[in-house]
Amino acid sequence: MTERTLIIGNKNYSSWSMRPWLLMKQANWSFSEIRIPLMTDEMPALMAQHSSSRKVPVLKEQGDQAQEIEIWDSLAICEYINECCEGQFWPKDPTLRAMGRSAVSEMHSGFFALRGELPMNMRKTFSGFTPSDAAQKEIDRISSLWQQLLTASGGPWLLGDFSIADAFYAPVVSRFITYQVDLPEACQAYCQQVEQLEAYQEWKAAACDESEVIQVAEVEAH
């Protein structure tokens, strides 16, 4: 029997950790988790103990006879989950699959203004938050991208069924909720779809129970 452990950061703040965690839940995988409190004195030692890359997330897997394997980076972990699930988390249509992979790659490597100005913080809700022009451009880009994918796939998820794309944009949904970002109707409906997901609710409940505070993520409305 395969034993799996996912090494994650704070659930309130770690968008990178949330992605594979959600996908593993959607895959109905049984796994344990080790949470490393980020930006704390104990973090370096815990990272050295649990993560060769000194980053989270990390998936560790131990079979009956095989040596333990370690998979790091949220995208690599999600792709591994998909392969273990016989391609369940990418659409079969090659065009739609390519669109989804492009959207995930864009999230994985971009949207730096959004990340910096609207850090994930699931314990709070801000009113009156005004993003910079740079962040607003990225919000508009995400809105356009979501609508493009929902139209192409027919919804209700970005690529029809729940996919890696939804796992990757779930932390963005949490940001839009936290900062009460004004979105087109189709995007608001998609945010509600994600928010109602059982795994999302489980992650959020655990995030709200955490006590650690990372000050750089505690932005104020402006």
Q: Verify that 72 and 103 share a domain, yes or no.
A: no
C-alpha span between 116 and 15 (Å, rounded): 12
Q: Which residues contact 169 (CB under 8 A, 6 or more apart)?
A: 103, 107, 142, 146, 158, 194
Last residue of one domain, picked from the residues 87, 109, 130: 87
Contacts of 40 (CB under 8 A, 6+ apart): 212
- Single residue among 56, 87, 118 that ends a domain in this structure: 87
What is the C-alpha to C-alpha distance for residues 56 and 35, in angstroms, rounded to an integer?
9
Are residues 23 and 117 part of one domain? Answer: no
CATH of the domain at 11: 3.40.30.10
Could you tell me if 100 and 78 lie in one domain?
A: no
Q: What is the tens place of the pLDDT at every residue in 157-197?
A: 999 999 999 999 999 999 999 999 999 999 999 999 999 99
Query: Poorest-confidence range of 60-69, 102-111, 156-165?
Result: 60-69
Same domain, 66 and 109: no
Three-class DSSP category at 212:
coil
Residues in the chain: 222
Q: Are residues 30 and 107 in the same domain?
A: no
Residue ranges with strand state E in the chain: 3-8, 32-35, 58-62, 69-72
User: Do 108 and 55 share a domain, yes or no?
Assistant: no
pLDDT class of 220 with cuts at 50, 70, 90: low
Domain co-membership, 108 together with 60: no
66 part of a folded domain: yes
Q: Is residue 211 in some structural domain? A: no
Tell me if 220 is assigned to some domain. Answer: no
Q: Is the residue at 221 inside a domain?
A: no
Show which of 87, 107, 126 is a domain's final residue: 87
Total domains, the chain:
2
User: How far apart are alpha carbons 107 and 66 in whole angstroms?
Assistant: 34
**Greater pLDDT, 181 or 128:** 181
If pLDDT is split at 50, 70 and 90, which confidence band does 2 have? confident
Q: Is the domain of 141 the same as that of 110?
A: yes
Do the bridges between strand 3-8 and strand 32-35 make them parallel or antiparallel, or are there none, so unpaired? parallel
Same-domain status, 177 and 199? yes
Q: Each residue of 81-104: b (16+ CB within 10 Å) or e? A: bbeebeebbbbeeeebbebbbebb
Q: What distance in Å separates the CA atoms of residue 77 and residue 24, rounded to the nearest whole number?
A: 9
179 inside domain: yes
- Assess whether 136 and 182 both reside in one domain: yes
In which band, very low, low, confident or very high, does the pLDDT at 217 lie, cut at 50, 70 and 90? confident
Would you say 175 and 111 are in contact if contact means Cβ atoms under 8 Å apart?
A: no
| Strands in 39-114 per DSSP E | 58-62, 69-72
Share of the chain above pLDDT 90, in %: 91
Specify whether 101 is located in the same domain as 193. yes
Same domain, 98 and 80: no
Query: Domain range for residue 27?
Result: 3-87
Q: Does 215 fall in a domain?
A: no
